[in-house]
Amino acid sequence: MPRRVLAVALTVIVGAALAVATTASAHTSDTRLSLVGYAVPREALGAVIKAWQQTPDGRDVSFTQSYGASGDQARAVAAGLQADVVQLSTGLDIELLVKAGLVDAKWNRQSAKGIATNSIVVFAVRDGNPKKIKNWSDLVKPGVGIVTPNPLSSGAAKWNVMAAYGAQRRLGKTDRQAIAWVERMFRNVVSLDTSGRNATNAFVAGRGDVFITYENEARLAKLQYVIPRQTLLIEAPIAVIKTSENRDTANRFIRFTKSAQAQRIFAQFGFRPLLPSVYQEFVKQYPRRPGIFKIDDKYLGGWNAVDRKWFDPDKGVWVGIAKRTGVGT
């Protein structure tokens, strides 16, 4: 009996070792790109990859995909998670990889400034918009429960904070007044999840009255949403890992994501097309708004300035707001 047990155990171990060996050797047969992305474009990127694999360039390329909160994914790559291509939610998270020596510092001088997808910050509301939420000012009313992810781990949330602040500045408030306003808004926050997708699930599951999110996320989750008059253009960058062995293949894939074909697929998943010609095809779904501003707007000054001012873990504006309002730090 013990001998039989031993034999079974040995068989299992050997079998397991063999299985590991075969999965390990399977890597080398054709090119395999590891894509590490933030949570939100999971479905769209899956479709874009399929389309690319139909083209001559992508025919023999297989993919591994990993999705999660943007900042978390960036740090995982920095800590050793294997990646050839990263798509993250903000340029800040790419900068983190630049600092780790994994992404070229000139990533944002690629075509389309290194951006793969466009979207905007919107307010998803309950069906029929029972709280009559139309603009930023409606968010600070008493009794309105706001859902947003946590700015320290989620790129989506950083866009939300900057959209709120930028909108107030553009409406004529001073820096101080706008920060105070953002703080007031955060007093209404009822859910602060780690990633944009977790926040969506919390809202879908019934939390809160309004959910500050990407337009594409609201469309994907089939939520009713309103576009505030002043809102921020969300540009999600894509970059190649410079230590990757498959750099050329990775770059070909990145070029494909910016092509008309891929941008049409992205548009079907709720993203605003980068290319003016493709945008024209979808303009009914994605109405133009005069009040759409960018992160390098004069009130914001680009991601690096925003990071120093807002998200420094010791003295950033956000840390102060989090402490005073009692939401996450």
Partner 1 sequence: MRPATLGSRTRRHVLRWTALAYLLAILVGPLAMVFWRTFENGYDAAWSALTTPETVQAFKLTLLITAIAVPLNTVFGVVCALAIVRRDFPGKGLLNAFVDLPLALSPVVVGLSLFLLYGREGWFGGWLEEHDIQVLFALPAMVLATVFVSLPFVCREVVPTLREIGDEQEQAARTLGASGWQTLRRITLPAIRWAIVYGVVLTTARCLGEYGAVAVVSGRIQGQTETATLRVEERYDSFDVQGAYAISLVLALLAVLVLIAMTVFQRKEETA
Partner 2 sequence: MSSIETLGRARPVRIPRETATALSLGFVVAFLSVVVALPMAALIWESTKEGSAGFWEVVTSPQSLAALKLSFGVSLVIAVINGITGTLIAWVLVRDEFRGKRVVNAIIDLPFALPTIVAGLVLLALYGPSSPIGVDVAFSRTAIVLALLFVTLPFVVRTVQPVLHELDREMEQAARSLGASEATIFRRIVLPNILPGILSGVALAFARAVGEIGSLVIISGSLPYKTEVASVYILSRVESGDRAGAAAIAVVLLVSSFLVILGIGVVRRLTTRHDVAQARA
Residue 106 amino acid letter: K
Among the listed residues 191, 244, 249, 263, the single contact to partner 2 using CB under 8 A: 191
* 206 scored as a contact of partner 1 (CB under 8 A): no
CB of 211 to partner 1, least distance (A): 14
Q: CB under 5 to 8 A by kind: which of partner 1, partner 2, none does 20 bind?
A: partner 1
* 42 scored as a contact of partner 1 (CB under 8 A): yes
Paired tokens of 181: 């306003």
CA dihedral 289, 291, 296, 301 (to 10 degrees): -160
Among the listed residues 80, 128, 276, 313, the single contact to partner 1 using CB under 8 A: 80
Residue nearer to partner 1 on the CB measure, 179 or 199: 199
Stretch that binds partner 2, among 65-73, 159-167, 213-221, 225-233 (CB under 8 A): 65-73
Among the listed residues 33, 69, 162, 236, the single contact to partner 2 using CB under 8 A: 69
Among the listed residues 34, 148, 150, 216, the single contact to partner 2 using CB under 8 A: 150
Among the listed residues 153, 200, 230, 244, the single contact to partner 2 using CB under 8 A: 153
* 152 scored as a contact of partner 2 (CB under 8 A): yes
Among the listed residues 193, 209, 215, 217, the single contact to partner 2 using CB under 8 A: 193
Per the CB < 8 A criterion, the answer to whether 215 and 41 are in contact is no
Contacts of 28 by beta carbon, 8 Å cutoff, 6+ apart: none
Paired tokens of 204: 């879908």
Q: Reduced to 3 states, what is the DSSP secondary structure of residue 189?
A: strand
Residue 10 amino acid letter: L
Among the listed residues 32, 42, 75, 126, the single contact to partner 2 using CB under 8 A: 75
Residue nearer to partner 2 on the CB measure, 46 or 328: 328
Residue nearer to partner 1 on the CB measure, 3 or 315: 3
State the number of CA atoms in the 13 A half-sphere of 133 facing the CB: 30
- What distance in Å separates the CA atoms of residue 283 and residue 281, rounded to the nearest whole number? 6
Site size for partner 2 (CB under 8 A): 26
What is the number of other CB atoms lying within 10 angstroms of the CB of residue 251? Answer: 16
Q: CB under 5 to 8 A by kind: which of partner 1, partner 2, none does 115 bind?
A: none
* 275 scored as a contact of partner 1 (CB under 8 A): no
Terminal C-alpha separation, the chain? 58
Based on the number of CB atoms within 10 Å of its own CB, is 54 exposed (0-12), middle (13-18) or buried (19 or more)?
A: exposed
DSSP annotation string for 125-178: E-TT-TT---SGGGGGSTTPPEE---TTT-HHHHHHHHHHHHHHHHTT--HHHH
Strand pairing class (146-147; 189-191)? parallel
* 202 scored as a contact of partner 2 (CB under 8 A): yes
Contact pattern for partner 1 over residues 47 through 66, marking x by CB under 8 A? -----------------xxx
Q: How far is CA 244 from the centre of its chain?
A: 22
* 198 scored as a contact of partner 1 (CB under 8 A): yes
Per the CB < 8 A criterion, the answer to whether 38 and 236 are in contact is yes
* 327 scored as a contact of partner 2 (CB under 8 A): yes
- What distance in Å separates the CA atoms of residue 151 and residue 132, rounded to the nearest whole number? 26
Q: Which residues bind partner 2 (CB under 8 A)?
A: 1-2, 68-69, 71-72, 75, 150, 152-153, 190-195, 202, 205-207, 313, 323, 326-329
Residues that bind partner 1 (CB under 8 A): 1-3, 5, 9, 12-13, 15-16, 19-20, 34, 39, 42-43, 64-68, 76, 78-82, 197-198, 200-201, 204, 220-221
